[in-house]
Amino acid sequence: MKTTRRHVLGVLVLGSGWLGSSAGCRGPNGPMHPEYRMLAERLVRLPKERRSLRSIGLWYLASLSERPAADQIAAEWFPTEAERRRALTELPLRLAERIRDRTLDDYRHDRVVIVRGWLLSETEARFAALTALLRRV
């Protein structure tokens, strides 16, 4: 097959779309990049007190029709390879700041969910869900 310039550009455009989407994190035909699991475990270690968070996470998960996996949540937050790599290596304080920024952004843009009457940002609720999904970490 002859490779044209147009063909190459088309692949690049499609590829960049895949890289930028959370679905793309799963890989085109296979499982999600294994580093997302590592990243999820890293995120779960951020809070000092996890037991009480877990119950919030469980209530939140129970309210969903489709239960997300831990690596999927991490992939939603850090969808590109560059973001994933940076999140895996940067200081916990910086990582926490990213979660905080996402949380504040949720409140600014009306992305709240209801967990047992608590109006929480979507990021907070999914963060709590991570602790429930990765109990043994």
Partner 1 sequence: MLTDSRTLRDGSELTADVCIAGGGAAGITLARALGGSGLSVLLLESGGFLPDEATQALYVGSSIGQDYWALDTSRLRFFGGSTNHWTGWCRPLDPIDFEARPGMLGGWPVSYQELLPYYREAQKDCELAEFDYRPNLWAERYRTRLIPLDDASWETIAWQFSTPTHFGERYRQELVASDDVQLLLYANLTQIELARAAGHVERWRVRCLNGPNFSVAARSYVLALGGLENPRMLLASNGVEPRGVGNRLDTVGRYFSDHPHSKVGQILPNSVHDLRPYTDIYREGAGTYVRFSWALTEALRRELGMPGMSVTLDPPGAEGYPEEGPGVESLMEQVGARPGKTAWSLFLRAEQAPNPKSRVKLGRSRDALGMPRIELDWRVPTPLDQQVREAVRRLALSAGQASIGRVLSFAHTDKKPVDAWPILWGGHHHLGATRMSEDPKYGVVDRNCKVHGVDNLYCAGSSTFATAGYANPTLTICALARRLGKHLLEQYA
Helices (H) and strands (E) in the chain, counts: 7, 2
Residue type at 123 in one-letter notation: T
In angstroms, rounded to a whole number, what is the distance separating the alpha carbons of residues 6 and 71?
35
Pairwise CA distance, residues 104 & 111, whole Å: 10
Whole-angstrom distance, CA of residue 31 vs CA of residue 15: 17
* Spatial separation of the C-alpha atoms in residues 37 and 78, rounded to whole Å: 12
- Shortest Å distance, C-beta 113 to partner 1: 10
Q: Which of 21, 37, 41, 55 binds partner 1 (CB under 8 A)?
A: 55
CB of 44 or CB of 75, closer to partner 1:
44
Q: Which of 56, 75, 129, 133 binds partner 1 (CB under 8 A)?
A: 56
Q: Please tell me whether residue 119 adopts helix, strand or coil conformation.
A: strand
Provide the minimum distance between the beta carbon of 95 and partner 1 in the complex, in angstroms, as a whole number: 11
> With respect to partner 1, which residue has the nearer C-beta, 16 or 63?
63
Choice between 1 and 91, CB closer to partner 1: 91
Q: How far apart (Å, rounded) are the C-alpha atoms in residues 134 and 114?
A: 22
Q: Taking CB under 8 A as the rule, which mask of x and - marks residues 93-132 in contact with partner 1?
A: ---x--xx--xx-xxx-x-x-xxxxxxxx--x--xx----
**Single-letter amino acid, residue 39:** L
Q: Does residue 59 touch partner 1 according to CB under 8 A?
A: yes
# residues near partner 1 by CB under 8 A: 32
Chain positions contacting partner 1, by CB under 8 A:
46-50, 52-56, 59, 96, 99-100, 103-104, 106-108, 110, 112, 114-121, 124, 127-128
